[in-house]
Amino acid sequence: MARSVRTFLPVVGDPASLTRAFEGDPARWLPASRRTGPDEYLVTLRAGAMSQQVAATIGSPWRSGATRWRSLTWEPTGVDRSPRSVDRLLPSLDGELGLNIEAHDRVTLIFDGRYEPPGGAVGTAVDVVALNRVADATIQRLVEDVTARLSAEATLLGGSAHRSAPRDHGPASIRA
Protein backbone atom coordinates (compact mmCIF):
# COMPACT_ATOMS: atom_id res chain seq x y z
CA MET A 1 0.00 0.00 0.00
CA ALA A 2 1.44 3.35 -1.04
CA ARG A 3 1.96 5.90 1.73
CA SER A 4 1.77 9.65 1.27
CA VAL A 5 3.77 12.38 2.93
CA ARG A 6 3.18 16.10 2.57
CA THR A 7 4.96 18.94 4.28
CA PHE A 8 5.33 22.66 3.75
CA LEU A 9 7.40 25.50 5.15
CA PRO A 10 7.53 29.28 4.56
CA VAL A 11 10.47 30.57 2.52
CA VAL A 12 12.09 33.91 3.28
CA GLY A 13 12.99 36.12 0.34
CA ASP A 14 11.84 38.08 -2.66
CA PRO A 15 9.23 36.01 -4.54
CA ALA A 16 10.65 36.79 -8.00
CA SER A 17 14.19 35.85 -6.96
CA LEU A 18 12.96 32.71 -5.19
CA THR A 19 11.10 31.70 -8.35
CA ARG A 20 14.24 32.22 -10.47
CA ALA A 21 16.26 30.16 -7.99
CA PHE A 22 13.68 27.34 -7.89
CA GLU A 23 13.36 27.22 -11.67
CA GLY A 24 17.15 27.37 -12.08
CA ASP A 25 19.81 24.75 -11.49
CA PRO A 26 18.73 22.33 -8.70
CA ALA A 27 22.41 21.81 -7.81
CA ARG A 28 22.25 25.34 -6.34
CA TRP A 29 19.50 24.42 -3.84
CA LEU A 30 19.61 20.65 -3.33
CA PRO A 31 21.37 19.93 -0.01
CA ALA A 32 24.45 17.70 0.11
CA SER A 33 24.20 16.85 -3.56
CA ARG A 34 26.44 16.00 -6.48
CA ARG A 35 25.33 16.10 -10.12
CA THR A 36 25.59 12.73 -11.87
CA GLY A 37 23.66 13.51 -15.08
CA PRO A 38 21.61 16.26 -16.73
CA ASP A 39 18.73 15.95 -14.21
CA GLU A 40 20.29 13.40 -11.85
CA TYR A 41 21.97 13.94 -8.49
CA LEU A 42 23.34 11.96 -5.59
CA VAL A 43 21.69 13.54 -2.54
CA THR A 44 22.39 12.77 1.09
CA LEU A 45 19.18 12.81 3.12
CA ARG A 46 19.23 13.21 6.89
CA ALA A 47 16.85 12.38 9.72
CA GLY A 48 18.33 12.96 13.16
CA ALA A 49 21.67 11.16 13.34
CA MET A 50 20.84 8.92 10.36
CA SER A 51 21.77 9.69 6.77
CA GLN A 52 21.12 7.93 3.48
CA GLN A 53 22.30 8.64 -0.01
CA VAL A 54 19.73 8.51 -2.81
CA ALA A 55 19.92 8.77 -6.58
CA ALA A 56 17.50 11.63 -7.27
CA THR A 57 15.98 12.93 -10.49
CA ILE A 58 14.60 16.49 -10.63
CA GLY A 59 12.20 17.33 -13.44
CA SER A 60 11.80 20.57 -15.36
CA PRO A 61 9.67 23.26 -13.70
CA TRP A 62 6.01 23.71 -14.57
CA ARG A 63 3.34 26.02 -13.26
CA SER A 64 -0.15 25.32 -11.95
CA GLY A 65 -1.94 28.39 -10.63
CA ALA A 66 0.21 30.19 -8.06
CA THR A 67 2.59 27.24 -7.66
CA ARG A 68 5.72 26.31 -9.60
CA TRP A 69 6.35 22.55 -9.42
CA ARG A 70 9.26 20.19 -10.09
CA SER A 71 9.03 16.42 -9.95
CA LEU A 72 11.39 14.67 -7.54
CA THR A 73 12.01 10.93 -7.51
CA TRP A 74 14.66 8.93 -5.73
CA GLU A 75 16.04 5.46 -5.22
CA PRO A 76 18.25 4.57 -2.22
CA THR A 77 21.81 3.86 -3.32
CA GLY A 78 25.33 3.41 -2.02
CA VAL A 79 28.19 5.83 -2.67
CA ASP A 80 29.20 3.88 -5.79
CA ARG A 81 25.52 4.00 -6.97
CA SER A 82 25.15 0.24 -6.59
CA PRO A 83 22.31 -0.96 -4.36
CA ARG A 84 23.45 -2.37 -1.04
CA SER A 85 21.46 -4.97 0.89
CA VAL A 86 20.23 -2.33 3.35
CA ASP A 87 18.97 -0.20 0.45
CA ARG A 88 16.41 -2.89 -0.40
CA LEU A 89 14.83 -2.13 2.99
CA LEU A 90 14.42 1.57 2.19
CA PRO A 91 11.63 2.97 0.04
CA SER A 92 11.83 4.65 -3.31
CA LEU A 93 9.95 7.91 -3.54
CA ASP A 94 7.94 9.71 -6.20
CA GLY A 95 6.89 13.28 -5.47
CA GLU A 96 6.80 16.94 -6.31
CA LEU A 97 8.39 20.04 -4.84
CA GLY A 98 6.31 23.17 -5.19
CA LEU A 99 7.04 26.85 -4.65
CA ASN A 100 3.74 28.58 -3.92
CA ILE A 101 3.54 32.38 -4.15
CA GLU A 102 0.56 33.49 -2.08
CA ALA A 103 -1.11 36.86 -1.64
CA HIS A 104 1.00 39.47 0.12
CA ASP A 105 4.16 37.81 -1.25
CA ARG A 106 4.04 34.86 1.15
CA VAL A 107 6.12 32.07 -0.30
CA THR A 108 5.80 28.44 0.78
CA LEU A 109 7.84 25.40 -0.24
CA ILE A 110 5.64 22.32 -0.53
CA PHE A 111 6.62 18.67 -0.76
CA ASP A 112 4.00 16.13 -1.79
CA GLY A 113 5.23 12.56 -2.21
CA ARG A 114 4.37 8.90 -2.23
CA TYR A 115 6.41 5.87 -1.27
CA GLU A 116 5.80 2.15 -1.15
CA PRO A 117 7.23 0.55 2.01
CA PRO A 118 9.40 -2.40 0.94
CA GLY A 119 8.64 -5.84 2.30
CA GLY A 120 4.98 -6.20 1.38
CA ALA A 121 2.46 -6.46 4.23
CA VAL A 122 5.17 -6.85 6.87
CA GLY A 123 7.00 -3.76 5.59
CA THR A 124 3.76 -1.77 5.59
CA ALA A 125 3.04 -2.83 9.18
CA VAL A 126 6.54 -1.79 10.30
CA ASP A 127 6.11 1.51 8.45
CA VAL A 128 2.79 2.19 10.20
CA VAL A 129 4.25 1.41 13.63
CA ALA A 130 7.64 3.12 13.39
CA LEU A 131 9.27 3.92 10.08
CA ASN A 132 6.73 6.50 8.94
CA ARG A 133 8.19 8.83 11.59
CA VAL A 134 11.59 8.44 9.97
CA ALA A 135 10.05 9.23 6.57
CA ASP A 136 8.36 12.34 8.02
CA ALA A 137 11.59 13.50 9.68
CA THR A 138 13.59 12.90 6.49
CA ILE A 139 11.17 14.88 4.32
CA GLN A 140 10.88 17.68 6.91
CA ARG A 141 14.69 17.99 7.05
CA LEU A 142 14.91 17.99 3.25
CA VAL A 143 12.32 20.78 3.00
CA GLU A 144 14.12 22.78 5.73
CA ASP A 145 17.44 22.42 3.91
CA VAL A 146 15.99 23.29 0.49
CA THR A 147 14.19 26.30 1.99
CA ALA A 148 17.42 27.66 3.48
CA ARG A 149 19.36 27.10 0.27
CA LEU A 150 16.62 28.66 -1.90
CA SER A 151 16.64 31.76 0.33
CA ALA A 152 20.42 32.02 0.03
CA GLU A 153 20.32 31.52 -3.75
CA ALA A 154 17.56 34.12 -4.12
CA THR A 155 19.74 36.61 -2.22
CA LEU A 156 22.61 35.90 -4.62
CA LEU A 157 20.24 36.44 -7.55
CA GLY A 158 19.45 39.93 -6.27
CA GLY A 159 16.44 39.51 -4.01
CA SER A 160 16.24 40.52 -0.40
CA ALA A 161 16.17 37.97 2.39
CA HIS A 162 15.45 40.63 5.00
CA ARG A 163 11.73 39.96 5.01
CA SER A 164 10.78 37.71 7.90
CA ALA A 165 8.68 34.60 7.53
CA PRO A 166 5.01 34.89 8.52
CA ARG A 167 4.44 33.76 12.09
CA ASP A 168 1.13 32.00 11.44
CA HIS A 169 2.47 29.80 8.66
CA GLY A 170 4.86 27.35 10.38
CA PRO A 171 6.01 23.88 9.33
CA ALA A 172 3.47 21.14 9.07
CA SER A 173 3.31 17.55 7.94
CA ILE A 174 0.30 15.66 6.74
CA ARG A 175 0.27 11.91 6.36
CA ALA A 176 -2.34 9.91 4.47
Give the pLDDT confidence of 135-164 residue by residue, as tens digits: 778 889 999 999 999 999 999 988 554 444
Strands (E) across 11-84 are located at 33-35, 40-47, 50-58, 62-64, 67-76
pLDDT for the residue numbered 73: 95
Q: What is the pTM of this model?
A: 0.80
Give the pLDDT confidence of 49-103 residue by residue, as tens digits: 778 889 999 999 999 999 999 999 998 875 554 554 444 556 789 999 999 999 8
Q: Do 91 and 84 meet the contact criterion of CB atoms below 8 Å apart? A: no
| Domain 3-160, CATH number (from 3.30.1370.10, 3.40.50.300, 3.30.530.20, 2.60.40.10) | 3.30.530.20
- Show me where the domains of the chain are located: 3-160
